[in-house]
Amino acid sequence: MTIQLDPYQLLSLLCTIAVILFGIFKMILANIDSRFLKMETERKEENKELSKELLRNERELLALKIDLPNEYQRREDSIRNQTIIEAKIDGLANKLGELHLIDRRRERNIND
């Protein structure tokens, strides 16, 4: 079985197939384009939300930096304060020791 086509029929058939393929290709591209546009809008919305969150986090960080000196004590400051307190306690201990010696001497003088 052979199919015989005139040249104009063959050309017409090829043009029809080409138009059908072009239409399918165009539909696929339109579908892909709409998906990309949807993804683009979603990405822009997500970027806006992330920008807002970033600004909020930056503000919180700045607030923490402002409160940091008021709320926390540096290690060096703590060591210096501890050293001062220990020096004062040592001074009191020396004075108490001297007072204790003076008290013993008075007791000896009273007993003698």
pLDDT, one tens digit per residue, over 21-43 is 999 999 999 999 999 999 999 99
Assess whether 56 and 101 both reside in one domain. no
Assess whether 39 and 19 both reside in one domain. yes
Assess whether 59 and 84 both reside in one domain. no
Assess whether 13 and 68 both reside in one domain. yes
pLDDT computed for residue 107 by the predictor: 84
pLDDT computed for residue 112 by the predictor: 67
pLDDT computed for residue 3 by the predictor: 81
Assess whether 55 and 41 both reside in one domain. yes
What range defines the domain where residue 32 resides? 9-72
Encode 1-34: b = buried (16+ Cβ within 10 Å), e = exposed: eeeeeeeeeeeeeeeeeeeeeeeeeeeeeeeeee
Please state, in angstroms and rounded to a whole number, the distance separating the CA atoms of residues 8 and 15.
10
Within a domain: 68: yes
- State the pTM of this model: 0.46
Assess whether 58 and 104 both reside in one domain. no
Assess whether 23 and 51 both reside in one domain. yes
User: pLDDT tens across 52-85, in order?
Assistant: 999 999 999 999 898 887 777 788 888 899 999 9
Q: State the total domains in the chain.
A: 2
Q: 97 — alpha (psi -120 to 50), left (phi > 0) or beta? A: alpha
User: pLDDT tens across 12-22, in order?
Assistant: 999 999 999 99
> Which of residues 87 and 107 earns the better pLDDT score?
87
pLDDT score of 1 more than 90:
no
Assess whether 56 and 81 both reside in one domain. no
Assess whether 40 and 62 both reside in one domain. yes
